[in-house]
Structure 1
Amino acid sequence: MIRSTLLLCLVAAVAADTGLDAIQPMSTSTFQCLANNGYSFFVARVWESVGNYDNTGIQNIKNARAAGWKYVDGYIFPCLRSTCASPEAQVQATVNKLKASGAQYGMLWLDIEILAWPADINHNRDFITRLGNELNALGVNWGIYTNNHNWGNIVGIDWNQWHTRPLWWANYNGHQDYTGFVPFGGWTKPNIHQYAGDYKGPCGVDLDLNWYP
């Protein structure tokens, strides 16, 4: 019985994956080093909240691919100032830049966290709806990065417009599982858990730690 339980634990450990998101420049050899240290997926910032491409992140996607990584995504940190481009234009610019740069990604994630969102929940809902609709129109596979606190403050905890999209759940509880998840926004469970941030990782990389089963 003990041996069977141990085997199940080992199988669960093998089936799960540890990944990272980071914004610093990383070379192909750095990604090879990270792979040797057990990391298997990477999410790069590809659009910044200041309203422009993240060229470092786009190059990181290319370098990760060159290092043989199969699972590489990007995330859009929307620009919210009145001088920023429309939600649709931000999505279009990101997708077009990735294509023109030859940066092959699996998914794009919308980074929905408290930063400069206005107090008007209806405005915020409309902004995120327009981001999502444009991603759908462009045929992009996409999801949402957020947590209960961010979602509740920005759009209201029960707003479930995009509950069918994958959820990248940010909760720095240190668990490589979904411990502590409380359903919100129509999501009943996450797809990825960002379980630690600002981690001094191997290979000289400062990163956030992520897990999916």
Structure 2
Amino acid sequence: MTRIAEVSTLVSMTAFGCLKNSGYDAVIMRCYRPEGATDRNCAASVANAWNAGMGHVDVSVALTAETDVTAASSVSGYIADNSVKYGMVWLDVQPKARWKDEQADNRRAFTDVLKAFTDAGLSLGVCATAGEWSQIFGDDFTAAARLPLLYRDPDGLPNFAGFTKFGGWTRPRLKAYNENLARCGVQLNSVVDPS
């Protein structure tokens, strides 16, 4: 089992070292904010995670109805300009309040952004909850089903036992099972790869 710290603030090498000693093996660091801008803490935090000995580091992009196709070039440019070493970019679907009322509008926005990130050559995954996905896009929206899924279910259980199919996904890759934790002076979500 791999435990992953999902973070969205500047984290020092010392704090990542503490997290590693506490059983975290990997990191997902936010690199694009819900407000529609690259996260200036991303490059330093990613470097600190690697330097602390984390075995794997991914990055995430907060997606809302306001995220447009330029986010892909912003993120890929930021990653290149700052030599950010990462494995995958997780497209993190933000809560319903950050999306439009019409599912057709949300589907179009998501599909356009997904195409832009794919065209930028980034390795992608999607982070979502079943309930939010259904409300935002509809149960039958499967545009991202070919991508790995990190699903959010803060039930405190580091396994996939409660997973139900949605969005065309029949099995997740990762699960965020505890949210808004404080560990080693860092606010984080605990994510697990139980394989």
> So what's the TM-score if we normalise by structure 1?
0.86
> Which AA in structure 1 matches 2:146?
T
| Unmatched segments (≥5 aa) in structure 2 | none
Native 8 Å contact 1:174 1:195 kept in 2? yes
Residue type of the partner of 1:143?
G
After superposing the two structures, state which structure 1 stretch, 177-186 or 53-62, moved more: 53-62
CA distance in structure 2 between the aligned counterparts of 1:140 and 1:98, rounded to whole angstroms:
10
Measured after TM superposition, the shift of residue 43 of structure 1 is 0.5
User: Which aligned pairs between 1:61-210 and structure 2 lie closer than 5 A?
Assistant: 61-81=46-66, 87-114=68-95, 115-201=97-183, 203-210=184-191
Q: Are the equivalent residues in 2 in contact too, given 1:44–1:58 (CA < 8 A)? A: no
Amino acid at match of 1:21: E
Instruction: Give the number of equivalent residue pairs.
Output: 193
Q: By how many angstroms is 1:66 displaced?
A: 1.9
Computing the radius of gyration from Cα coordinates, the structure with the larger value is 1
1:109-144 Cα deviation digits (max 9, x unpaired): 111132310011111111111121112112111011
What CA distance in whole angstroms lies between the structure 1 residues aligned with 2:63 and 2:170?
A: 25
- The answer to which structure has the higher helix fraction is 1
Gaps of 5+ in 1: 1-15
* Structure 1 Cα separation of the partners of residues 162 and 55 of structure 2: 29
Task: Map 1:49-64 onto structure 2 (within 5 A).
Answer: 49-64=34-49
- Residue 204 of structure 1, CA deviation: 1.4
Give the Cα–Cα distance (whole angstroms) in 2 for the partners of residues 118 and 191 of structure 1: 28
Alpha carbons 2:27, 2:57 under 8 Å: kept:
yes
User: 1:160-192, CA deviations, whole angstroms, 9 ceiling, x for partnerless residues?
Assistant: 111110000000111110021110111001100
3-state SS of 1:77 partner: strand
1:119 partner letter: D
> Aligned-residue CA RMSD in angstroms?
1.3
